[in-house]
């Protein structure tokens, strides 16, 4: 009876990947709204944006960029390793990716708490006394890096589930759609940061 | 072709029993019905709120409620109707049920994601209704959430914003699912230009859902941030810009109008050939106009903001594009009429609704041009004229297409026939009630009656009075229609596989469809809507 065959044909990897790609488009548009707001306010208050960007620590930003770039590479290598059937190397590279992501979040935590110490957080009295452009810059800074950090956390969860599945041999050298999709998602997280970094840290 | 091995999807026993065999089902047909039941419940809630508003407006001054209650009612009426009923309605119910069947597939590409979307939808819808009963009072911003009021209002706006956000996410996932389904799951031989036109409409819709909805997501998040964190993007006192919110809001919410109307156009495009027994006129033109509407519709949002403060060049540009987008819509109208021309017309309830769709949609469309041209817009902006216009499009267009769809596919979905006579009477109530309800609003709107107003000057009394009478007639018609369908679902005569002599794939399988739709995936060798040999299609 054909009843039991149902739903098996849908899981082929081309279909799954197409779904992921379209989802990534929606993510780009989600951030796109913020980039739009950024560009409008930057055009309006460009001088004040320059001043405010000087407050950000470009060293930490650069360090985080390096973390994410390297992690994007390791996750790509993990996929290549899986395709070659090297399970142990895959696991190792996935671990490295997750650790780099954790370092990114840790750095972000220090960066934010440092700002908080100076009283720079949304709605704070210090911020309210600043010129409008600087206030909006920090609003955008928190909103954009906050949303991005949320995506880093989601990516870490995805990569962790992937790791568990690789360990349980549910993902193997013939079936690795989930690894591929997690890697795609992780590249997106990296890509968005590549744009956030210069727009927020390097416009001084 | 039906054999004993094929169990109808209504009787199929999977892993789960009883209610769980529905709530945990990944069968696209069952999920379609889950959406249908939810939409009916929420529709009657929102329609009842609308009726209460109409009762309040039957005479000047206070009639049955306080002004603040009225503000809450029009807000939540709008939020439920727009985000819970009209945007998801046709695509999630009939799209889920018939898209895979029409393209010769056994299910959508991601069945589990499909079920997940339904749960997100229910969560969002319940949050929206719950916001009405929160301690801080029902939100009173209108469904458009315009700043600065949506930031200042002390009511439970955040709940409504979150509800809309979740519903948007659900809508994105449905759109994604449909795009992938159409790309990957068409039956062998079904080339793009052999695909029926309802799937084509869903395809155009799905791209708007995927590409426009994230913008409203981030915008609603910004309003929440504005309320909670005082972030200042939309607050002039902090250097922000309230008009920026309107841009971001309409970048999504105008394309959303096409999310509503494109599937409706797709539905009637299926109905006209079947009830004229004639191939659809201008298949290619309909496909292209669907895609053109989806594309151009993305760039007309500014026509909601002609009075909000925009440069002159921006205004004429948006106005020009608004006129351009009317062209593909008009092409479709010509196609539908020409499809009927010379056909052997069978005026059954689905066709009756489809024809009234054209009539109401045309009135809505032409008055849309009044609003889309710069000079007349200033006069009619934010008046009852706008209310009448968009109800003609949304209810007269999408709503009547929905009724057409449910009457067209009901025998297939439930395997039973409804009472034609009662359906026709209900149509009469709906059509007369609808026009009596909304047409007077055009007139008093032109005379200066503002929208969303709790009270009005005595000169608008006649118009409002007629409108409220219409609301009662319409409501009665809706109840009669749903009653007729419920009776039919329980005790109707068993439906044959092809009661309307249709030729698309859904009519070639038994009613109700078996669990996996097709015993063997059909091989497609020609264009759809070929009515040549009737004997073969019975």
Q: What is the pLDDT of residues B337-365, one digit of tens each?
A: 999 999 999 999 999 999 999 999 999 99
Q: Does B239 touch chain A (CB under 8 A)?
A: yes
Domain boundaries, chain B: 20-537
Q: Which of A26, A128, A133 comes nearest B214 by C-beta?
A: A26
Listed by number, the residues of chain A in 47-76 with a beta carbon closer than 8 Å to a beta carbon of chain B are none
**pLDDT mean over B289-305:** 93
DSSP type of residue B189: T
Q: Which two tokens stand for residue B168?
A: 């948007």
Taking 50 as the threshold, does the pLDDT of residue B322 lie above it? Answer: yes
Q: Report residue A204's pLDDT band, with 50, 70 and 90 as the boundaries.
A: confident
- pLDDT per residue over B84-130, tens digit each? 999 999 999 999 999 999 999 999 999 999 999 999 999 999 999 89
Taking 70 as the threshold, does the pLDDT of residue A10 lie above it? Answer: no
- pLDDT per residue over B438-467, tens digit each? 999 999 999 999 999 999 999 999 999 999
Which chain A residues are Cβ-neighbours of B113 within 8 angstroms?
Answer: 19
Which of B27-31, B175-179, B353-357, B520-524 shows the lowest per-residue confidence on average (mean pLDDT)?
Answer: B520-524
Taking 70 as the threshold, does the pLDDT of residue B3 lie above it? Answer: no
Q: Does A20 touch chain B (CB under 8 A)?
A: no
Nearest partner of B60 among B533, B350, B444, B329, judged by Cα: B444
Q: Quick one: pLDDT at residue B538?
A: 37
- B121 vs B164: CA distance, rounded Å: 10
**Looking up tokens 């007269």, which residue turns up?**
B396
A93 Cα to chain B: minimum distance (Å): 29
Taking 70 as the threshold, does the pLDDT of residue B151 lie above it? Answer: yes
Q: Quick one: pLDDT at residue A8?
A: 42
Which percentage of chain B shows pLDDT scores above 90? 87
**Looking up tokens 């600065």, which residue turns up?**
B148
B273 and B339 Cβ atoms separated by less than 8 Å:
yes
- B49 vs B217: CA distance, rounded Å: 26
- pLDDT per residue over B155-168, tens digit each? 889 999 999 999 99
Q: Report residue B5's pLDDT band, with 50, 70 and 90 as the boundaries.
A: low
Q: Report residue B4's pLDDT band, with 50, 70 and 90 as the boundaries.
A: very low
Q: Does B241 touch chain A (CB under 8 A)?
A: yes
A18 and A179 Cβ atoms separated by less than 8 Å:
no
**Residue-averaged pLDDT of chain A:** 91
Which of A136, A140, A144 has the most B C-beta neighbours within 10 Å, making it the best mutation to test the interface with B? A136
Q: Which of B110, B214, B225 comes nearest A10 by C-beta?
A: B110
Q: Report residue B183's pLDDT band, with 50, 70 and 90 as the boundaries.
A: very high
- Phi then psi for B187, rounded to 5 degrees? -65, 155
**pLDDT mean over B509-516:** 92
Which chain B residues are Cβ-neighbours of A40 within 8 angstroms?
Answer: 241, 244
- pLDDT per residue over B193-218, tens digit each? 999 999 999 999 999 999 999 999 99
Q: Quick one: pLDDT at residue A127?
A: 85
Q: Report residue A9's pLDDT band, with 50, 70 and 90 as the boundaries.
A: very low
Q: Quick one: pLDDT at residue B293?
A: 93
A132 Cα to chain B: minimum distance (Å): 5
Nearest partner of B505 among B521, B487, B491, judged by Cα: B521
- Phi then psi for B237, rounded to 5 degrees? -65, -25
Contact call for A2 and B109, based on CB within 8 A: no
Say whether pTM exceeds 0.90. Answer: yes
**Looking up tokens 């041999």, which residue turns up?**
A169
**Residue-averaged pLDDT of chain B:** 93
Q: What is the dihedral of CA B382, B388, B389, B395, to 10 degrees?
A: 130
Cα atoms found within 13 Å of the Cα of residue B496, Cβ hemisphere only: 7
- pLDDT per residue over B360-388, tens digit each? 999 999 999 999 999 999 999 999 999 99
**pLDDT mean over A12-16:** 87
Q: Which two tokens stand for residue B353?
A: 């609704």
- pLDDT per residue over B403-440, tens digit each? 999 999 999 999 999 999 999 999 999 999 999 999 99
Q: Does A10 touch chain B (CB under 8 A)?
A: yes
Taking 90 as the threshold, does the pLDDT of residue B134 lie above it? Answer: no
Q: Which of B107, B210, B232 comes nearest A135 by C-beta?
A: B232
Q: Which of A10, A22, A136 comes nearest B233 by C-beta?
A: A136
Which percentage of chain B shows pLDDT scores above 70? 98
Domain boundaries, chain A: 23-201
Q: Quick one: pLDDT at residue B533?
A: 54
Q: Quick one: pLDDT at residue A4?
A: 39
What CATH number has the domain spanning A23-201?
A: 1.20.120.80
Q: Report residue A124's pLDDT band, with 50, 70 and 90 as the boundaries.
A: confident
Q: Quick one: pLDDT at residue A5?
A: 40
B308 and B243 Cβ atoms separated by less than 8 Å:
yes
Taking 50 as the threshold, does the pLDDT of residue B276 lie above it? Answer: yes
Contact call for B177 and A40, based on CB within 8 A: no
Q: B20-537: which CATH architecture?
A: Up-down Bundle (1.20)
Taking 70 as the threshold, does the pLDDT of residue A122 lie above it? Answer: yes
Neighbours of B331 (CB within 10 A): 17
- pLDDT per residue over A26-79, tens digit each? 999 999 999 999 999 999 999 999 999 998 999 999 999 999 999 999 999 999
Q: Quick one: pLDDT at residue A11?
A: 55
- B340 vs B344: CA distance, rounded Å: 8
B424 and B503 Cβ atoms separated by less than 8 Å:
no
Taking 80 as the threshold, does the pLDDT of residue A94 lie above it? Answer: yes
- B530 vs B504: CA distance, rounded Å: 9
Q: Does B107 touch chain A (CB under 8 A)?
A: yes
Contacts of B528 (CB under 8 A, 6+ apart): B194, B195, B196, B197, B280, B283, B503, B504
């Amino acid at each position: 009876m054909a009843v039991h065959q149902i739903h098996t044909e849908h899981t082929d990897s081309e279909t799954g990947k197409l779904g992921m790609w379209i989802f990534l488009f929606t993510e780009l548009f989600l951030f796109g709204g913020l980039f739009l707001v950024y560009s409008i306010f930057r055009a309006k208050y460009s001088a004040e944006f320059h001043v405010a960007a000087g407050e950000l620590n470009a060293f930490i930003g650069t360090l985080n960029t390096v973390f994410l770039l390297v992690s994007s590479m390791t996750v790509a290598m993990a996929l290549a390793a899986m395709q070659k059937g090297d399970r142990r190397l895959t696991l190792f590279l996935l671990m490295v990716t997750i650790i780099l992501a954790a370092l990114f979040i840790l750095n972000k935590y220090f960066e934010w708490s440092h700002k908080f110490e100076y009283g720079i957080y949304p709605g704070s009295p210090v911020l309210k006394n600043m010129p409008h452009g600087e206030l909006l810059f920090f609003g955008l800074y928190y909103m954009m890096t906050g949303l991005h950090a949320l995506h880093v956390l989601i990516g870490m969860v995805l990569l962790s589930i992937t790791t568990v599945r690789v360990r349980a041999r549910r993902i193997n050298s013939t079936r690795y759609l989930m690894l591929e999709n997690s890697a795609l998602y992780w590249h997106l997280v990296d890509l968005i940061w590549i744009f956030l970094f210069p727009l927020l840290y390097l416009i001084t | 072709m039906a054999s004993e091995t094929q169990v109808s999807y209504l009787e199929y026993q999977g892993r789960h029993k009883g209610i769980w065999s529905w709530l945990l089902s990944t069968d696209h047909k069952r999920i379609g019905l889950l959406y249908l039941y939810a939409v009916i419940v929420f529709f009657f809630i929102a329609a009842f709120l609308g009726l209460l508003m109409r009762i309040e407006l039957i005479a000047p001054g206070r009639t049955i409620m306080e002004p603040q209650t009225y503000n809450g009612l029009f807000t939540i009426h709008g939020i439920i109707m727009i985000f819970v009923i009209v945007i998801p309605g046709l695509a999630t119910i009939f799209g889920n049920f018939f898209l895979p069947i029409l393209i010769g597939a056994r299910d959508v590409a991601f069945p589990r994601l499909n079920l997940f979307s339904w749960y997100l939808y229910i969560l969002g819808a319940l949050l929206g209704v719950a916001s009405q009963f929160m301690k801080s009072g029902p939100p009173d911003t209108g469904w458009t959430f315009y700043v600065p009021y949506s930031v200042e209002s002390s009511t439970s706006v955040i709940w409504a914003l979150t509800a809309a956000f979740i519903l948007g996410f659900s809508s994105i996932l449905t759109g994604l699912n449909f795009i992938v389904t159409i790309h990957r799951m068409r039956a062998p031989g079904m080339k793009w230009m052999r695909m029926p036109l309802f799937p084509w409409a869903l395809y155009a819709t799905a791209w708007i859902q995927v590409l426009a909805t994230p913008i409203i997501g981030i915008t609603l998040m910004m309003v929440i941030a504005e309320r909670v964190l005082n972030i200042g993007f939309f607050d002039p006192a902090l250097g922000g810009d309230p008009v920026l919110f309107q841009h971001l809001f309409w970048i999504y919410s105008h394309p959303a109008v096409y999310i509503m109307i494109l599937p409706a156009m797709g539905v009637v495009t299926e109905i006209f050939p079947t009830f004229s027994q004639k191939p659809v006129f201008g298949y290619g033109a309909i496909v292209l106009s669907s895609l053109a509407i989806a594309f151009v519709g993305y760039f007309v949002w500014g026509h909601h903001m002609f009075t909000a403060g925009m440069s002159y060049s921006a205004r004429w540009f948006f106005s020009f594009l608004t006129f351009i987008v009317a062209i593909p819509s008009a092409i479709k109208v010509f196609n539908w009429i020409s499809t009927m021309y010379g056909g052997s017309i069978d005026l059954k309830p689905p066709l009756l609704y489809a024809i009234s769709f054209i009539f109401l949609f045309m009135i809505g469309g032409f008055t849309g041009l009044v609003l889309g041209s710069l000079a007349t817009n200033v006069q009619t902006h934010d008046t009852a004229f706008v209310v009448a216009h968009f109800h003609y499009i949304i209810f007269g267009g999408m709503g009547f297409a929905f009724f057409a769809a449910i009457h067209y596919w009901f025998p297939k979905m439930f395997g039973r026939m409804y009472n034609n006579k009662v359906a026709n009477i209900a149509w009469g109530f709906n059509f007369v009630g609808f026009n009596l309800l909304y047409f007077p609003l055009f007139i008093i709107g032109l005379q200066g009656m503002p929208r969303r107003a709790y009270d009005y000057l005595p000169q608008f009394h006649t118009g409002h009075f007629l409108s409220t009478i219409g609301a009662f007639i319409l409501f009665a018609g809706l109840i009669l229609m749903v009653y007729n369908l419920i009776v039919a679902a329980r005790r109707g005569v068993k439906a044959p596989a092809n009661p309307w002599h249709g030729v698309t794939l859904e009519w070639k399988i038994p009613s109700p469809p078996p669990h996996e739709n097709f015993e063997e995936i059909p091989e497609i060798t020609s264009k759809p809507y070929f009515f040549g040999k009737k004997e073969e299609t019975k």
